[in-house]
Structure 1
Amino acid sequence: MSYFTIAGVQLHALHHGDNTDVMRHRIDMLMARFPQVQMVLFSELVANGASPHHAQPMPSAMEAIFCQIAEQHRIWLIPGSMFERIDDKIFNTLSVINPHGQVVARYRKMFPFRPYEEGVEGGSEFVVFDVPNIGRFGVSICYDMWFPETTRTLVAMGAEVILHPTMTDTIDRDIELSIARTNAAVNQCYFFDINGAGAIGNGRSIVVGPSGDVIHQAGTGEEIMPIEVDLSRVRRERETGLRGLGQPLKSFRDRQVDFSLYRSETGSTPFLDTLGPLAKPARVDIEEH
């Protein structure tokens, strides 16, 4: 079987504070109306707000609530992400919960939105997981998508669907829509980019097919998006090419070039080192004459 139904939930929730009750209510409504849904995906930091002060060690009581919900409805559940505390460090962490209510993976955002997302560490481990008899899924979070190496690595690990919660409330959302389409096309995969609404995002979640085609783009308010994907389409397009044309994954596999620039022992590159520190733009005062 290659058909699988994923529901993205674009939720209008509190910017800071516990949103688990409203998330539970949305899932209850969703499953009553669309019982065919097999996986539910929320946006970044929706569960407990966008302040690192709410960080908790994991497993946590809040994560346990989502495990109970997943088991109750027999769904795969990715409740966005939550700030996780490990000793004196804080990570932006996503939990993958199976229909038995078990956490099968945790992914820590690799690229915090620096310099704005201060005090949050970057993770270092890619995460893919298998849905039995369906296929392989990969996860990333928000700013990760701006770095093509992240999605390409997940796909090289076998991912056919990328699940990508985000929390974008800024004027670059239109650019992210293009990046989502590009990531899907060049990696020949489904891409679910689910944003928040209201105080936790300006909406416009997008679901993209493996040809870069927009399956659905949400508005700016609350929205539930049940989408049936067909993973045989991913496999066929990877075999025959995007619309019977480009086969980028095979070309990347068969490349002659060695990207040795990325393998520097110091992790730096001569040009990038000239760009200066990663800091917020400073205001330039204009003198009055």
Structure 2
Amino acid sequence: MSHSFVLAAAQFPTLKPENWSQFEQTIADWVAEAVRQHARLLVFPEYSSMVLAGLLPEPMQADVLGQIGEIQRYRDDYLALHQRLAQRHGVYIVAGSYPWEMDTGVYVNRAWVFAPNGGMEHQDKRVMTRFEREEWDIRGGAPLKLFETELGRFGINICYDIEFPLLARAQVEAGAELILAPSCTDTLGGYHRVRTGCAARALENQCFTVQVPLVGTAPWSPAIDVSHGSAAIFGPPDRGFPDNGILVQGGLNDPSWVYAEVDLSRVGRVRDEGEVYNHRHWHDQLGPGIEARLPEVTPVRL
């Protein structure tokens, strides 16, 4: 197992592809660029798959409810594309999350993870935003997962999920040293809420966290019409990490990759030698004889 690797977080733009081939080439070009920078783990944002709605007839592009059903026609190709790229380049890819139909008219927000060996697994978002609940009727999925890979162990908290500490805590107690937070936020306030959640989870768990935003404007889309953010990789503001906890941060709303060398062995060191022991003192906040029930976590090997 390699503890140190280059992580690439995509500030991916809300482009409008003219056809499937153009979308496929765009994703292939982004992956190839990150590979040239020696990235081993590539992470795309929440709902970056929604650019595929630009391939639908114009009336459907404006139908915020109908389009999530219509883009199911692309999902098999979407999986095959990312699986092929992960194998071709020998990397792990977290694809942009997809409104995934479980039963007729029942959707979850699903992020797929692809491994160099052709394996793939997924994490569903657990806590839905008002937009997802009230306008899309997208539902929370289960269970939480711990992804065990050649690079190390990580969890995924999709956007709003990172604002709820017990989700990341459950994954950390299961062994996660890194929490990925693909995001899609249509206001600067939303972006900063996710950012604050990432920084807080890194602090309290003494681990790495990563915010990965969708960026840009898409006037043709009622779902991803405005997306704000900048990618950032956080650690605890403690010994061996930057004083502000920020390893790297991208430019606001600038389509680009943001890279950082992530050494997961630093997680164990700061938990053993830090100025404070947030990770091991977690249960002290509850008081004697009191336990907080954490969500169950399912380990998966990729």
- In the TM superposition, what is the alpha-carbon distance from 1:258 to its structure 2 partner? 1.6
| Equivalent position of 1:3 in the other structure | 4
Distance of aligned partners of 1:156 and 1:176 in 2 relative to their CA distance in 1, 3 Å threshold:
same
Distance of aligned partners of 1:136 and 1:25 in 2 relative to their CA distance in 1, 3 Å threshold:
same
- In the TM superposition, what is the alpha-carbon distance from 1:52 to its structure 2 partner? 2.4
State the distance in 2 between where 1:135 and 1:72 align: 21
CA contact (8 A) 2:249 2:258 kept: no
Larger Rg: 1
- In the TM superposition, what is the alpha-carbon distance from 1:158 to its structure 2 partner? 0.8
User: Please, what TM-score do these two structures have when normalized by structure 1?
Assistant: 0.80
Q: Deviation string for 1:151-208 (max 9, x for gaps)?
A: 1111111100011100112131223322211111111110011001103421212110
**1:25 corresponds to which letter in structure 2?**
D
Distance of aligned partners of 1:55 and 1:240 in 2 relative to their CA distance in 1, 3 Å threshold:
farther
- In the TM superposition, what is the alpha-carbon distance from 1:48 to its structure 2 partner? 3.5
**2:128 corresponds to which letter in structure 1?**
P
State the distance in 2 between where 1:57 and 1:45 align: 16
- In the TM superposition, what is the alpha-carbon distance from 1:29 to its structure 2 partner? 2.3
CA contact (8 A) 1:57 1:85 kept: no
| Equivalent position of 1:152 in the other structure | 169
State the distance in 1 between where 2:46 and 2:131 align: 18
Q: Which runs of 5+ in 2 are unaligned?
A: 54-66, 218-223, 238-243, 295-302
Is residue 83 of structure 2 the alignment partner of residue 67 of structure 1? yes
State the distance in 2 between where 1:23 and 1:164 align: 20
CA contact (8 A) 2:207 2:235 kept: yes
CA contact (8 A) 2:157 2:181 kept: yes
| Equivalent position of 1:277 in the other structure | none
Is residue 246 of structure 2 the alignment partner of residue 214 of structure 1? yes
State the distance in 1 between where 2:101 and 2:229 align: 28
- In the TM superposition, what is the alpha-carbon distance from 1:26 to its structure 2 partner? 1.1
Q: 42, 45, 57: which is aligned to 1:43?
A: 45
Identical aligned pairs, as a percentage? Answer: 26
Is residue 152 of structure 2 the alignment partner of residue 126 of structure 1? no
| Equivalent position of 1:111 in the other structure | 127
| Equivalent position of 1:229 in the other structure | 262
Distance of aligned partners of 1:15 and 1:153 in 2 relative to their CA distance in 1, 3 Å threshold:
farther
CA-based RMSD of the aligned residues comes to: 2.4
- In the TM superposition, what is the alpha-carbon distance from 1:40 to its structure 2 partner? 0.5
**1:110 corresponds to which letter in structure 2?**
R
User: Please, what TM-score do these two structures have when normalized by structure 2?
Assistant: 0.77
**1:83 corresponds to which letter in structure 2?**
P
State the distance in 1 between where 2:192 and 2:84 align: 36
Q: 220, 224, 231: which is aligned to 1:205?
A: 231
Distance of aligned partners of 1:58 and 1:252 in 2 relative to their CA distance in 1, 3 Å threshold:
farther
- In the TM superposition, what is the alpha-carbon distance from 1:60 to its structure 2 partner? 1.9
Higher strand residue share: 2
State the distance in 2 between where 1:62 and 1:148 align: 31
**1:30 corresponds to which letter in structure 2?**
A
State the distance in 2 between where 1:92 and 1:116 align: 9
